[in-house]
């Protein structure tokens, strides 16, 4: 079986490792925008090119690819899965229409409302120019999150309190409504967690819950980032969760996949649900149509089931016949990022990895590139270090120790996975439950 991986970040490196671990002897190919050394060394062949239709399609045909794994979301919006499937190549990664669950936040919310999917916060959608009614909605909802619906050239989700006050929210909405549409929704307060699942369009195979850390510095200080690191516990739940929280997340994701099939066709790929545990139950923050980065690094290394068997089961819609299992171990992932990230990161600076110094930690290359045998930063998250052990505390020690083998002008959050931070999450969740 020839498998093509699209994408060249940390998420794709951990996927590449899962393919390489398969006992089905798959051949791995990749299309990536820069040479990720971790992926490159696992591939039979790779192409450095745009991770998009115009380069992926001819390469997949040339190499007679049997199955494609699409790491990032952007190519999904340009119908990469549709086009590959039209050529007879099944994909892990949904077609363009079902991928709207991530790509169009207005579509995602109205879809949830239409199908009565639980956990949908109060929201309203406004189109270009509807500024006065949008301002009235902000006054009515009071505390809001504001989400541009489409591609926004760097302007993203902004949340009151974090980014602005009521007046600032109105200014941001006015700015967005000059050119596009916007979702204004209830600002959800609570503890965030992520659940990821494989989907064959009907059946979901769920991974353990993970918690990411978006802020750049220790103690959840500083600007938001792509995610500085994440942890999971030995089993499906995080320490602050109850079984019913995970069950609610699963139910919501299952309903979502069934309803998407009815509306726009089968959702084949990864469904990533981001949830908020609130004082009034589990709410959906958003869905993504791909693995999370770093959350992929927590769950994929734990897969006991052969990754290639999962891909086959998705292709022929037989996931219900496959028991997808994960090791019952805790994981802690910490990202080494360029100094100054995310605001003024050092770019093109050398990263040295001393394999002997990384101990038992797993190392995944993310936004780095290799040139003449040397690894350099790009300005985005550079190297993910993962510890796996029976407890979160032990996994944290392995990840921290592993970081001492990574050298460069880099920054790490030291608190992720520590008992102090995990306890704080547990106390916060207890207070949300009124305990």
Q: From the list ligand AMP, ligand GLY, none, pick the one residue 152 interacts with, judged by a Cβ distance below 5 to 8 Å according to partner type.
A: none
Residues binding ligand GLY: number (CB under 6 A):
6
**Which 135-194 residues touch ligand AMP, going by CB under 6 A?**
145, 156-157, 159, 185-188
Q: Does 432 bind ligand AMP (CB under 6 A)?
A: no
Contact 213, 279 (CB under 8 A): no
Residue 160 tokens, joined: 């009151």
Q: What DSSP state is assigned to residue 334?
A: E
With a CB cutoff of 8 Å and minimum separation 6, the contacts of 91 are 67, 68, 69, 70, 80, 81, 84, 85, 268, 269
Q: Does 93 bind ligand GLY (CB under 6 A)?
A: no
Q: Between β-strands 2-6 and 67-70, what pairing exists: parallel, antiparallel or unpaired? A: parallel
Q: From the list ligand GLY, ligand AMP, none, pick the one residue 99 interacts with, judged by a Cβ distance below 5 to 8 Å according to partner type.
A: none
Of 48 and 74, nearer to ligand GLY (C-beta) is 74
Q: Does 12 bind ligand GLY (CB under 6 A)?
A: no
The SS3 assignment for 92 reads strand
Please choose, from the candidates 193, 194, 197, the residue with its C-alpha nearest in 3D space to the C-alpha of residue 270: 197
Of 143 and 409, nearer to ligand AMP (C-beta) is 143
Per-residue mark of binding to ligand GLY, 214-253 (x: CB under 6 A): -------------x--------------------------
Which of 7, 9, 292, 405 touches ligand GLY (CB under 6 A)?
292
Q: Does 212 bind ligand GLY (CB under 6 A)?
A: yes
Per-residue mark of binding to ligand AMP, 110-129 (x: CB under 6 A): -----------x--------
Q: Does 293 bind ligand GLY (CB under 6 A)?
A: yes
Residue 146 tokens, joined: 């504001």
**Which 82-111 residues touch ligand AMP, going by CB under 6 A?**
none
CB 231, min distance to ligand AMP, A = 16
**Whole-number Å distance between alpha carbons of 412 and 320:** 40
Residue in this structure with the two tokens 């040295």, named with its chain if needed: 352
Of 225 and 418, nearer to ligand AMP (C-beta) is 225
Q: From the list ligand AMP, ligand GLY, none, pick the one residue 295 interacts with, judged by a Cβ distance below 5 to 8 Å according to partner type.
A: ligand GLY
Q: Does 149 bind ligand GLY (CB under 6 A)?
A: no
Q: From the list ligand AMP, ligand GLY, none, pick the one residue 159 interacts with, judged by a Cβ distance below 5 to 8 Å according to partner type.
A: ligand AMP
Of 292 and 301, nearer to ligand GLY (C-beta) is 292
Of 191 and 415, nearer to ligand AMP (C-beta) is 191
End-to-end CA separation in angstroms for the chain:
53
Q: Which helix (H) or strand (E) holds 355?
A: none
The CA-atom distances, in angstroms, between 265 and each of 163, 201, 314, 316 are: 37, 8, 14, 15
Contact 331, 236 (CB under 8 A): no
CB 156, min distance to ligand GLY, A = 11
Of 148 and 417, nearer to ligand AMP (C-beta) is 148
The CA-atom distances, in angstroms, between 30 and each of 10, 65, 223, 252, 267 are: 14, 11, 33, 33, 23
Of 71 and 387, nearer to ligand AMP (C-beta) is 71
Q: Does 214 bind ligand AMP (CB under 6 A)?
A: yes
Which of 45, 202, 255, 286 touches ligand AMP (CB under 6 A)?
286
Q: Which helix (H) or strand (E) holds 215?
A: strand 215-217
**Would you call 119 exposed, middle or buried from its count of C-beta atoms within 10 A (0-12, 13-18, 19+)?**
buried
Of 252 and 310, nearer to ligand AMP (C-beta) is 252
Q: From the list ligand AMP, ligand GLY, none, pick the one residue 185 interacts with, judged by a Cβ distance below 5 to 8 Å according to partner type.
A: ligand AMP
**Would you call 240 exposed, middle or buried from its count of C-beta atoms within 10 A (0-12, 13-18, 19+)?**
buried
**Whole-number Å distance between alpha carbons of 244 and 237:** 10
With a CB cutoff of 8 Å and minimum separation 6, the contacts of 392 are 231, 233, 239, 330, 332, 417, 419, 422
Positions touching ligand AMP (CB under 6 A) are: 121, 145, 156-157, 159, 185-188, 214, 285-286
Positions touching ligand GLY (CB under 6 A) are: 212, 227, 288, 292-293, 295
């Amino acid at each position: 079986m020839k498998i093509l991986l699209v994408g060249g970040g940390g998420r794709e490196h951990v996927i590449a490792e899962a393919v390489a671990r398969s006992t089905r002897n798959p051949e791995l190919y990749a299309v990536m925008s820069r040479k990720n050394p971790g992926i490159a060394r696992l591939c039979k062949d790779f192409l450095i090119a745009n991770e998009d239709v115009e380069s992926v399609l001819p390469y997949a045909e040339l190499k007679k690819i049997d199955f494609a794994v699409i790491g990032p979301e952007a190519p999904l919006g340009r119908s990469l899965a549709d086009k590959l499937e039209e050529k007879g190549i099944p994909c892990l990664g949904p077609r363009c229409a079902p991928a709207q669950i991530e790509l169009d936040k207005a579509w995602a919310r109205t879809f949830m409302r239409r199908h009565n999917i639980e956990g949908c916060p109060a929201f309203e959608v406004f189109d270009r120019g509807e500024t006065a009614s949008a301002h009235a909605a902000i006054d009515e909802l009071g505390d809001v999150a504001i989400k541009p619906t489409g591609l926004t050239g760097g302007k993203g989700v902004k949340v009151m309190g974090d980014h602005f006050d009521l007046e600032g929210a109105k200014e941001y909405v006015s700015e967005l409504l000059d050119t596009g549409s916007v979702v204004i929704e209830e600002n959800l307060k609570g503890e965030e967690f992520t659940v990821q699942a494989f989907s064959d369009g009907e059946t979901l195979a769920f991974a353990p819950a993970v918690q990411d850390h978006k802020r750049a510095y220790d103690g959840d200080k500083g600007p938001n980032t792509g995610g500085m690191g994440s942890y999971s516990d030995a089993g499906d739940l995080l320490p602050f969760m109850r079984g019913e929280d995970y069950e609610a997340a699963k139910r919501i994701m299952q309903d979502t996949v069934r309803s998407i099939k009815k509306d726009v066709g089968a959702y084949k790929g990864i469904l990533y649900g981001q949830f908020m545990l609130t004082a009034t139950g589990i709410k959906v923050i958003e869905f993504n149509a791909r693995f999370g980065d770093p959350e992929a690094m927590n769950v994929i290394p734990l897969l006991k089931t052969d990754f290639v068997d999962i891909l086959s089961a998705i292709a022929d819609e037989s996931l219900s016949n496959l028991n997808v299992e994960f090791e019952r171990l805790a994981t802690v992932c910490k990202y080494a990022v360029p100094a100054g990230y995310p605001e003024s990161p050092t770019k093109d600076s050398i990263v040295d990895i001393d394999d002997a110094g990384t101990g038992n930690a797993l190392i995944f290359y993310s936004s780095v590139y290799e040139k003449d045998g040397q690894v350099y930063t790009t300005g985005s998250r550079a190297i993910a270090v993962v510890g796996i052990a029976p407890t979160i505390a032990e996994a944290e020690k392995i990840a921290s120790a592993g970081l001492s083998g990574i050298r460069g002008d880099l920054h790490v959050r030291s608190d992720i996975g520590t008992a102090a931070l995990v306890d704080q999450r547990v106390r916060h969740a207890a207070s949300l439950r009124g305990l």
